[in-house]
Structure 1
Amino acid sequence: MGNQVEKLTHINYAEVPTSDPNGFDPDGDGPRIGVSYIFSNDDDDDDQDERADRYPPEREPVNHEEKPFDLQDELDCAIYYREECVYERAGGAAAHAPESLLNRCRPGDLLEFLATGQYPHWAVYVGDFQVVHLHRAEIKNNFLTDVSQGKKGRIVNALYRFRALPPEVIVRNALDHVGTRDRELSWRNSECFAAWCRFGKREFKIGGEIRIGKQPYKLKLQFSEKKNHVLEFQSLEDVIMEKRRNDQIGKVAVTQELANHLNSTHEIKGDYYISCCGATPPPSSHRC
């Protein structure tokens, strides 16, 4: 595949010209053409888009039939900012029933509720059996057992490798935004909101990073010990959108989808790095 421009992903991505992600043109003939992925929406945990008024759906409707979460269908992945690993999920942690999860929670914890065929739903535990979360274009404060809707959940504080704020600050960040809705929202989905509450980084907000053609973020999908695939993105927000889409459709579907886009001469190989703009993969010393 090399430096050729090809559609690597699903049909609702729009392609626009971008300059080389390394900031130079090795041929000296001006900017090279890369691929920028523009995401239309994130359905989160149901079939109503949280931001439907701002991000109209462009892809075919998906089946959100709720099934028990299957850990075997969860795809391991890592996110890099340049050469730094900022997120890693390898051998995902087991999920627990809501009542069991309550006994493990502490104020400021990030929670993830899971069901096969649905987007993971994230929330911030604020104490007294309650969580704050972004749901259907509004930030709400509800009981954990109500938010779970019977789904299993787990604590996911360690997925992002940023320094966490003090617990009281995390809780205050969450509670201060209860009632925010629709166009007042600064987050595209429940994960971005919950992560922002815990880490306070603007990268989780809508438009938190200027897209100037460079693609400093890489999403590494780990299919097996020797088979992986890497995609490049302009912002952390974009990476999260793609990661959540993969979680919603599951490992088997992602594998099949990727196979459909790679012809027989570009099969997934051990440590095969897919780069549409000619960037180099993260050095081994920086791999998660």
Structure 2
Amino acid sequence: MGNQVEKLTHLNYAEVPTSDPNGFDPDDDGPRIGVSYIFSNDDDDEQDDNLDQFSPDSRPVNHEEKPFDPHDELECAIYYREECAYERSTGAAAHSPESLLNKCRPGDLLEFVATGQYPHWAVYVGDFQVVHLHRAEIKNNFLTDVSQGKKGRIVNSLYRYRALPPEVIVRNALDHVGSRDRELYWRNSECFAAWCRFGKREFKIGGEIRIGKQPYRLKLIFSEKKSHVLEFQSLEDVIMEKRRNDQIGKDAVMQELANHLNATQEIKEDHFVN
């Protein structure tokens, strides 16, 4: 994309310009270039003022009306060329904040989840506290306050990068407490927390040069026989799309894709890659 674009919103599946619904060229072994995204700043709260909000002075949000359902999560994997960089299976259990505290160790990555909301990531730094990016500022708060009643889980193993030593992870997080607005190098809480643990520049804004190639693939897995692949130029772009899918849920993603593939009742197996 040679043009300089200041801000583009998400393109839904109905707007994805793929020439083959599977994203594959039948005469080639590799996936075709489907779509590349340029996203506006994705700092949790900017995506929707009613989502992922946290204020130490506000009362906790009640999520009982929409309890977290792990079966509504979309199984997915991220590949850099042929190497798997991230993989999530469905059905991973989440725990109450109090139960989660008993499982945490300094340097752990935590993910707080609720139906219909973007996941919120944080780094556990010890003494019942986490460091996280929220509302364009990196903050240090108690885990139970940050959870706002959401269930949480430890997600150290989702990314397949080698983790830094725990003391380095904690230092990475604490060194940036208080950073805000133009001082930030991350688009959302997941990118910040993952950078703290793995130290890879790919999680930062502009950490990778977009040169027209799309080496990242996001594989959306609906069942053993149904999946779909999208391609991206950078890791942060993939994360933005993955988070959006988490927010709208598996059924909505399937419906978007079905609409794109001009399916009226259900997603046909011959429209998906295995």
Normalization by structure 1: what TM-score? 0.76
Which residue type is aligned with residue 254 of structure 1? V
Q: Is the 8 A contact 1:132 1:140 kept in 2?
A: yes
Q: Show CA shifts across 1:102-134 (max 9, x none).
A: 000000000000010100000000000000000
Map 1:28-107 to 2 at 5 A. 35-42=35-42, 44=44, 47-48=48-49, 66=63, 67-107=66-106
Alignment correspondent of 2:152? 153
List per-residue Cα deviations over 1:72-113 (Å, max 9, x = no partner).
Answer: 100000000000000000124200000000000000000000
**1:169 is matched by which residue type in structure 2?**
V
Distance 1:70 1:124, change over 3 A: same
Give the distance between the partners of 1:241 and 1:253, measured in 2 at CA. 16
Q: Is the 8 Å Cα contact of residues 113 and 152 (structure 2) preserved in structure 1? A: yes
1:280 counterpart residue number: none
Separation in 1 of the partners of 2:122 and 2:110?
Answer: 5
Within 2, Cα distance between the matches of 1:107 and 1:78?
26
Name the residue aligned to 2:3.
Answer: none
Deviation larger for 41-50 or 94-103: 41-50
Shift of 1:13: 7.4
Q: Is the 8 A contact 1:12 1:39 kept in 2?
A: no
Partner in structure 1 of residue 12 of structure 2: 10
Shift in alpha-carbon separation, 1:262–1:34, aligned structure 2, 3 A: closer
Q: CA deviation at 1:145?
A: 0.2
The offset of 1:270, in angstroms, is 5.8
Q: Does the 8 Å contact 1:130/1:141 carry over to 2?
A: yes
Which residue is 1:136 aligned to? 135
Is residue 201 of structure 1 aligned with residue 203 of structure 2?
Answer: no
Which SS does the other structure have where 1:72 is aligned? helix
Q: Distance in 2 between matches of 1:146 and 1:264?
A: 44
Contact 1:96 1:153 in 2 (8 A): yes
- Is the partner of 2:167 in helix, strand or coil? helix
Q: Deviations over 1:154-198 (max 9, x none)?
A: 000000000000000000000000000001100000000000000
Q: Deviations over 1:1-60 (max 9, x none)?
A: xxxxxxx95179798xxxxxxxxxx9xxxxx9863222224362673399xxxxxxxxxx
Any conservation in 1 of the 2:232–2:238 contact (CA below 8 Å)? yes
Q: Which amino acid aligns with 1:48?
A: D
Q: TM-score, normalised by structure 2?
A: 0.80
Match of 1:256 in 2: 255
Q: How many residues of Structure 1 are paired with residues of Structure 2 in the alignment? A: 239
User: Take 2:213 and 2:170, find their aligned partners in 1: how far apart are those partners?
Assistant: 34
Separation in 2, partners of 1:158, 1:192: 15
Distance 1:212 1:75 in 2: 30
For residues 116 and 13 of structure 1, do their structure 2 counterparts lie closer, same or farther at Cα, with a shift above 3 Å needed? same
Structure 1 residues 12 and 178: alpha-carbon distance in aligned structure 2, compared to 1, 3 A threshold = farther
The gaps in structure 2 that reach 5 residues or longer are 1-9, 18-27, 52-60
CA distance in 1, matches of 2:165, 2:271: 38
RMSD across aligned C-alpha pairs, in angstroms?
2.9
Name the counterpart of 1:175: 174
Q: 1-side partners of 2:258 and 2:271: how far apart?
A: 16
The alignment partner of 1:263 has SS state of coil
Q: SS in structure 2 opposite 1:171?
A: helix
Q: Tell me, what secondary structure is at the counterpart of 2:79?
A: strand
Would the alpha carbon gap of residues 92 and 270 (structure 1) be closer, same or farther in structure 2, given more than 3 Å must change? farther
Aligned partners of 1:133 and 1:194 also within 8 Å: yes
The answer to whether the Cα contact below 8 Å between 1:9 and 1:258 also exists between their aligned partners in 2 is no
How many Å separate the matches in 2 of 1:164 and 1:198? 6
Q: Separation in 2 of the partners of 1:81 and 1:49?
A: 33
Distance in 1, Cα, partners of 2:168 & 2:15: 37
Q: Which runs of 5+ in 1 are unaligned?
A: 1-7, 16-25, 27-31, 51-63, 274-283
- CA distance in 2 between partners of 1:12 and 1:198 (Å): 36
In the alignment, the residues of structure 2 paired with residue 101 and residue 141 of structure 1 have an alpha-carbon distance, to the nearest angstrom, of 17
1:156 maps to a residue whose letter is: V
Counterpart code for 2:210: R
Of 114-123 and 259-268, deviating more is 259-268
Moved more, 38-47 or 243-252: 38-47
